[in-house]
Structure 1
Amino acid sequence: MLFASTMTVMSGAIIAPALPGISRHFSEHSQVLIQLILTLPALMITLCSPLMGYLADRFGRKPLLLLMLSIYGLAGGAGFLINSVELLLASRALMGIAVAGILSISTTLVGDYFEGSERVRFLGLQSSCMALGGVVFINLGGLLSDWSWRGPFLLYLTGVLLLPYAWAMLKEPRLPGATHADSAQAPARVDYWRTGLGYLIAMLSMMMFYMFPAQLPFLLSEQGEISGMAIGIALSMSALTASIVAFGYGYYKPFFSVMTIYVLGFALAATGFLVVGFTDSYAMAIVGAAISGFGLGAFMPNTTTWLMRITPQRVRGRVFGGFTSTFFFGQFISPIAVAPAVIWLGSLRNVFIAMAVLCIVFAAILMILSKTYLRADSRL
């Protein structure tokens, strides 16, 4: 399940270094169309995750996960053979649908298989693997793209290679009350207010986190000539610290409530954004990215832990389908939201400062809610 979770990062990270080669090979097509090859899976994940969650609840977790692993491997690996942009986009869209199912179901299975502190630790491991996977797969994709722009697409075949192991090891969870018809048909109550707040926090945290890989290279280039390796180090720093804090989630969670971790996370993220926004130093920009990573890295395991505690098991699939959708919508919307913000605020540096202010506002709001409407969650 940990490896399946990293596949969501692989969907974009692997081919990112190959984009220049893809652009040269399909030189008759526009740059926007070539960039869509990278971003289309995130859009499909956003659109299809709620449906995948419903299907997982309706037809079972394991059969759907095995199907999605097959589609992921075949549709992703097809890029090695395809020689048409239109077909390549179609295969990427199909792969995005598969990723929607893989992440929704694997996260749901964590809640089905584990309880208590064991679940908390595993969620931390899952988030850590996803963040660290971004660092590893970008470099691995870059290595293969030096051989050929088609090379990185071969890595998607891991979905097919994982299939026999997943079939042998994963067990379909037994839902409580499934042996009693009346109980199985009884409606399961979803707390839409708290679930919606969890979705909003997931979207905002991903939107903020994605500002570093999407915007930091442009900010650093404003400071003068800088090598690609130096930019790569700066980009990987936030992912590295995020993976560290996610990995340790199970160890520090017993000492802090869900709401406290959110408040501390927004405060750390604000500090990092302020450092990046005010500094003219490359070294301090790396420090700022690292600080923000420490704050934002706890958000995914914290949100999944919270949602699992407040969601009935029989509807957990559709709730986490919605979570996956909003999570990746934050990634998709991040560059779209920043573009007009740069025009309105006058510079990219001011956008980072504005994000710091937004983090402080959310920290204050959650602190107030933890003392009022979400008082019960301040003890979770």
Structure 2
Amino acid sequence: MSGAIIAPALPGISRHFADQPQVLIQLILTLPALMITLFSPLMGYLADRLGRKPLLLVMLSIYGLAGGAGFLIDRVDLLLTSRALMGVAVAGILSISTTLVGDYLKGPDRARFLGLQSSCMALGGVVFINLGGLLSDWSWRGPFLLYLTGVLLLPYAWAMLKEPHPQSSDPADHVDEPVSIDYGRTALAYSVGMLSMMMFYMFPAQLPFLLSEQGEISGFAIGVALSMAAFTASIVSFCYGYYKPFLSVMTIYVLGFILAGIGFLVVGFTHSYSMAIIGAGISGLGLGVFMPNTTAWLMRITPQRVRGRVFGGFTATRSFSASLSRPLR
């Protein structure tokens, strides 16, 4: 939701701020990704040092208030400021929530839950991108209201989440031994995460303008096209726990890149709205495997005591690649 939710409103935002450089309009979409890149390592470190739950509750509050502020703001500089602050909050939410999965679960249960988590993230894209498209037809400000869900989730998160015990039953964790990180495999996981996120983020960053060049298309129609990749990704992610026992980490990566590449070729060469939707759906089938596959791999090789820092870095690299997907116009 940090960026894609307002993607259908980008043409309307561009028209409202017609006197502003186009690069600033694009930054409204991608600035949160830049802030996630800068602040995720810090958030991961603070989660390891100060605890997961208190920091997560603070970040949820900032996310909802800073994101929803876009509905009231009528200046580009203030809008960019609120988006930057929201990006800092997203850095904390992504790093801590993924770390908590590793704290709470292990083994096959962890793999199944990571698939469910990634599926919910992608399915949330289907729901909220389409809501953003509907609201953007009403006003370019409308999609910003959806960020208030962060505030609505706050009481539930406070009541349901628990601070994990500092010592883990994970065999990789021995409190009396120095913590070691497998930097080689961690760097490889970071690289794959960067590449897959760059590919996934190209849809909300590029597709609205591509479709607009084909004719007058409503914000809702743009939202439908954007959500197709998220919808098919959610299906593949949901099933991750079922097909993972039969496939290696690298096999899943290869299959994912093949499907994603085919989908991008379809979108890139077609001049049809319906074919663009089909291409986005094919890409989603490939891109949907990357998040749970990489996260499960990292959790398996990372000790609990440094898990927040490792996933803070992982979040940073993925968000950096998302910021690189900004179209140059």
- Could you tell me the TM-score, scaled by structure 1's length? 0.77
With over 3 angstroms needed to count, the CA separation of the structure-2 counterparts of 1:117 and 1:50, relative to structure 1, is same
Aligned to 2:246: 255
Residues 131-170 of structure 1 show CA distances to partners (whole Å, capped at 9, x for unaligned) of 2222221221232334433333222222222112111111
* Match of residue 57 from structure 2: 66
Q: Which of 155, 175, 197 is matched with 1:164 structurally?
A: 155
CA distance in structure 1 between the partners assigned to 2:215 and 2:135 by the alignment: 26
Larger RCO of the pair (alpha carbons < 8 Å, separation 6+)? 2
1:196 corresponding residue in structure 2: 187
**2:34 aligned with 1:47:** no
Alignment pair present for 1:106 and 2:97: yes
CA contact (8 A) 2:26 2:326 kept: no
Q: Where do residues 1-380 of structure 1 align in structure 2 (5 Å cutoff)?
A: 10-176=1-167, 184=175, 186-216=177-207, 225=215, 227-228=217-218, 231-277=222-268, 283-335=274-326
1:45 Cα offset (Å): 0.6
Structure possessing the higher radius of gyration over alpha carbons? 1
- In the alignment, the residues of structure 1 paired with residue 228 and residue 55 of structure 2 have an alpha-carbon distance, to the nearest angstrom, of 35
Letter in 2 for 1:71: I
3-state SS of paired residue (1:15): helix
Structure 2, gaps ≥5 residues long:
none
* TM-score (norm. length: structure 2): 0.88
User: How far apart are residue 234 of structure 1 and its match?
Assistant: 3.5
Cα displacement (A) at 1:282? 5.1
Q: CA-to-partner distance for each residue in 1:180-211, whole Å, 9 max, x for gaps? A: xxx75753100010000000000101112223
**Deviation of residue 21 (structure 1)?**
4.1
Aligned residues: 324
Gaps of 5+ in 1: 1-9, 341-380
| Cα deviation 1:264-292 (Å, max 9, x = unaligned) | 21222233334445556655444333222
Question: Structure 2: which amino acid aligns with 1:73?
Answer: G
Over 3 Å counting, the alpha-carbon distance change for 1:208 and 1:174 in structure 2 is same
What SS does the aligned partner of 2:153 have?
Answer: helix
SS state at 2:180 partner: coil
Identity of aligned residues (%): 79
- Given that 2:130 and 2:223 are in contact with CA atoms closer than 8 Å, whether structure 1 keeps it comes out as no
CA-based RMSD? 2.6
